[in-house]
Amino acid sequence: MVALVASILVSLVLAGGIQWYAGRRPAGQPTTWAEAMLGSVYVFFILFMIFGVVPHQWLTLAENEWSFRADRIFDAWGLITAKSKGGWFPFEITYRVLSDSVAAIIYIVFLGGMQAFFAIWQGRGDKAKAKAKALPTSAYGRPLVKRG
């Protein structure tokens, strides 16, 4: 349990670092070779954490400590008993299927988070552009400022 929580916390801290850096880096600034290499290692490490370590820690916790095995049937405390066991639910759900489903949900949530971070990174200069375009311009493209 500690390893799962620690891996989630490390992933969230790394994701927060991306958001913090996206707020500091101006859009359109050229990237140096060193920045590109450091950024690629950072992104590789966060992808390794969120798509490798976190789901692995969940599956390890579920299978080893909580005994989510294929021979145990999940019946939600008698609410979804399978027809083969005399209930109304059309099929049996094993604890292994349940743990794998949670792992799939972890992947889906992190994939959605990646898309959100892509949108944050790509749109980091939009506020500055909108603020700069708020001033009316002359026919020559210069901002019209009232002196007064």
* Residue 55 burial class via C-beta count within 10 angstroms: exposed 0-12, middle 13-18, buried 19 and up: buried
Domain hosting 9: range is 2-123
Phi/psi of residue 143, nearest 5 degrees: -70, 140
- Mean pLDDT of the chain, nearest integer: 87
Total length of the chain? 148
Flag whether 116 is in a domain.
yes
Distance CA 122, CA 22 (A): 9
**pLDDT tens readout for residues 67-95:** 999 888 888 887 888 888 888 888 888 99
Flag whether 140 is in a domain.
no
* Residue 51 burial class via C-beta count within 10 angstroms: exposed 0-12, middle 13-18, buried 19 and up: middle
Total domains, the chain? 1
- State residue 43's pLDDT score: 93
Flag whether 15 is in a domain.
yes
Flag whether 114 is in a domain.
yes
**% of the chain beyond a pLDDT of 70:** 92
- State residue 73's pLDDT score: 87
Q: What is the mean pLDDT of residues 4-30?
A: 90
